[in-house]
Structure 1
Amino acid sequence: MNRNELKILAQKYLAGEASAEEKALLNQWYDAADQGWLEKVDTKTPETEEEVKQRLFENLKSKGFLNVKPMEVPVKKQFSIRSLMFKITSAAAVLALVFFGWQLGVDQFDQVNKKMVNVPGNKIMELLLPDGSKVWLSSGSVFKYPKKFSKANRTVELIDGRAFFEVKHQKSQPFIVKTNSLNVVVLGTSFDVRAYKKEGSTKVSVVTGKVGITLKGPEEKPAVMLLPKQQVVLSDIQNHLIKAKAPEIAVNAWCNSKLVFEQETLANVFSVLEKKYKVKIIAEDPSLYEERISITLGDQHLSEIMFMLGFTKHFKYHIANDRITIK
């Protein structure tokens, strides 16, 4: 999309005249312009729809994409940003459009005053929840939380993905994390929940405090209690909890913009590197993709990362522009 086309789409969006296809096109353009690995979103200071719209206008104007005055942007009473916000949650905002701190990812089923967050495949997102608790969401995660917690408890849902929680202590108001297969109940602590549907298992690891784990189902069973450096793993096939010592690797290292892989296939490692460094990695021997590795990567140059992977897994590679061939 060239600059003129972007100007036209931006004008139509601000005026509330963009079609669904045009909104999707604008959203795709945002996604392609990644500006960082970590996004911070403060959900405690919501903005009105018009404030979001005005800030969007100012950001577009500051980047030279618009040349009109704010009062020249028509405002339509029936303009609805809600349907677009679900998609724009994943936008990196090349025009500094970090406006999804207002109503990030409100889904179309917002019948119980909840918000839905979808994290794009090239981001880690940090949320400040209404009670002051913090949650870091890994790439590909889907997370739901209420705009305001009830007096009885503070319940959130990790529908898919991975999240690290730092829960603010409130003795009379337990914090509950629901996943597809289990519930995590705490009063105030820090812990990691990994529940990617594609992996077929759910893992909970504790860093500080005490965590109670209960399985979902018709039968009520006593909660499994976890202390620091302990974890449980629930397999979708076996449907029972396995308690063990948490691995030595820092459970929350991935929150600090690090890439943490625990016995991950090289296929998945390469996929993450492709998204972060915008390259294409191809192995001449397909069996290499099934090799597994445990490694933590920081902000090293891609050439350093490939050297470490090649040394560890015994392969040679060639880097040419945005393509890496493994021989």
Structure 2
Amino acid sequence: MNRNELKRLAQKYLAGEASAEEKAQLNQWYDAVDQGWLEKVDTKMPESEEEVKERIFENLKSKGFLNTMPIEEAPHKKRHFSRSLMFRITSAAAVLALVFFGWQFAIDKFDLANGKMVNVPGNKIMELLLPDGSKVWLSSGSVFKYPKQFNKANRTVELIDGRAFFEVKHQKSQPFIVKTNSLNVVVLGTSFDVRAYKKEGSTKVSVVTGKVGITMKGPQEKETVMLLPKQQVVLSDIQNHLIKAKAPEIAVNDWCNSKLVFEQETLGNVFRVLEKKYKVKIVAEDPSLYEERISITLGDQHLSEIMYILGFTKHFKYHIANDRITIN
């Protein structure tokens, strides 16, 4: 999409005249230029559309995406300066419109009387500040539900799908409860990770600090399993019972910092993530390599460095040519 087309669609969006197809184009562009952005959202106070736009606009400026500061011009260049300033303002409005549109895709107000539903786009990590001051980081593809205000008895939220890391503010008389499809997590004040992607067929809870109580859902009341730091439980949809174990040494919350964190993941899945991030194609001549598993945390290294690490760890050789990596 060229600049003129981008400005035209953004102006139509701001005027409320954009069609569903045009909005989809804007959202596609937004996701393409803003991959991996960690967005922070304060949910304590309800925001109007204008307040959301203003907040995101300031966020963009702080990250260096926009520059709206006027530049001193000589008197004979005043006319050129006006056109230049207008162009920059229009461009900023275009970007702001697109970012706000992306925000609307991420946050759906399903029922203002009860709370909000968050749908995190596939290439984002979102940080929420909940009404009680607790924080939650939501991984890409997560669906999360929380109330506008917590009641006096408890602080209940729901991780419908995906992964979340919680830093819960301690309140002795008001337990914090995380509901998932298969189990409930009860704490007073602690930090822990919940992984409950429906496609994986299992739910995992790992504790970083404090104490966490885990209770399986079901028609009959079941005993609560208590977890301490560096402990975790896994509930498989097939086995339908909790397996308690020591948490792996790998930091469970590294993904909150936009790192690539893999815990006993297949190389096939690791390659797919790298393909998407670095826009390459990775092909192994031996298909059995895709099924080998690895636990590793990757930051913003160059792709060649990552491939060296993987090759050294899993004992394979590779060749990089343009946008294709061949493993032999």
Counterparts of 1:124 and 1:252, CA distance in 2: 12
Question: Do residues 110 (structure 1) and 111 (structure 2) align?
Answer: yes
In the other structure, the counterpart of 1:315 is 316
In the other structure, the counterpart of 2:52 is 52
Provide, for residues 281-322 of structure 1, a one-character-per-residue CA deviation record: whole Å limited to 9, x for no partner: 233333322121111212221111011111222222222333
Counterparts of 1:136 and 1:36, CA distance in 2: 13
1:155 and 1:176 in contact (8 A); partners too: yes
SS in 1 for 2:274: helix
2:195 and 2:204 in contact (8 A); partners too: yes
2:109 and 2:115 in contact (8 A); partners too: no
Q: Which letter maps to 2:279?
A: K
SS in 1 for 2:313: helix
In the other structure, the counterpart of 1:211 is 212
Structure 1 residues 211-220 or 254-263, which shifts more?
254-263
SS in 1 for 2:106: coil
Counterparts of 1:61 and 1:206, CA distance in 2: 39
Question: Do residues 231 (structure 1) and 235 (structure 2) align?
Answer: no
Q: 1:276 to 1:69 in 2, by over 3 A?
A: closer
In the other structure, the counterpart of 2:5 is 5
In the other structure, the counterpart of 1:33 is 33
Q: 1:65 to 1:189 in 2, by over 3 A?
A: farther
Q: 1:300 to 1:286 in 2, by over 3 A?
A: same
In the other structure, the counterpart of 1:291 is 292
SS in 2 for 1:232: strand
Structure 1 residues 45-54 or 99-108, which shifts more?
99-108
Query: How much has 1:241 moved relative to structure 2?
Result: 0.8
In the other structure, the counterpart of 1:262 is 263
In structure 1, runs of 5+ residues without a counterpart are 74-92
Q: 1:264 to 1:183 in 2, by over 3 A?
A: same
SS in 1 for 2:159: strand
Query: How much has 1:51 moved relative to structure 2?
Result: 3.2
2:106 and 2:120 in contact (8 A); partners too: no
Provide, for residues 83-137 of structure 1, a one-character-per-residue CA deviation record: whole Å limited to 9, x for no partner: xxxxxxxxxx966966589877343642653222222333322221111111112
Question: Do residues 142 (structure 1) and 134 (structure 2) align?
Answer: no
Q: Which letter maps to 1:205?
A: S
Provide, for residues 230-258 of structure 1, a one-character-per-residue CA deviation record: whole Å limited to 9, x for no partner: 11111101111111111222222222332
SS in 1 for 2:178: strand
Q: 1:211 to 1:118 in 2, by over 3 A?
A: same
Counterparts of 1:65 and 1:321, CA distance in 2: 40
Counterparts of 1:317 and 1:39, CA distance in 2: 36
- Give TM-score, length-normalised by structure 1: 0.83
Structure 1 residues 104-113 or 164-173, which shifts more?
104-113
SS in 2 for 1:107: strand
Structure 1 residues 159-168 or 133-142, which shifts more?
133-142
1:104 and 1:115 in contact (8 A); partners too: no
In the other structure, the counterpart of 1:88 is none
SS in 1 for 2:223: coil
Q: 1:95 to 1:146 in 2, by over 3 A?
A: same
Q: Which letter maps to 2:267?
A: L
Counterparts of 2:234 and 2:16, CA distance in 1: 47
Counterparts of 1:303 and 1:65, CA distance in 2: 42
2:128 and 2:137 in contact (8 A); partners too: yes
Task: Kindly indicate which of the two structures has a greater share of residues assigned to helix.
Answer: 2
In the other structure, the counterpart of 2:189 is 188
Q: 1:196 to 1:35 in 2, by over 3 A?
A: closer
Query: How much has 1:62 moved relative to structure 2?
Result: 5.9
Counterparts of 2:300 and 2:23, CA distance in 1: 33
Counterparts of 1:29 and 1:286, CA distance in 2: 35
Q: Which letter maps to 1:326?
A: I
Q: Which letter maps to 2:200?
A: E
In structure 2, runs of 5+ residues without a counterpart are 69-83
Query: How much has 1:170 moved relative to structure 2?
Result: 0.9
Q: 1:219 to 1:65 in 2, by over 3 A?
A: farther
User: Percentage identity across aligned positions?
Assistant: 87
Counterparts of 2:159 and 2:85, CA distance in 1: 37
Q: 1:66 to 1:218 in 2, by over 3 A?
A: farther
Query: How much has 1:212 moved relative to structure 2?
Result: 0.8
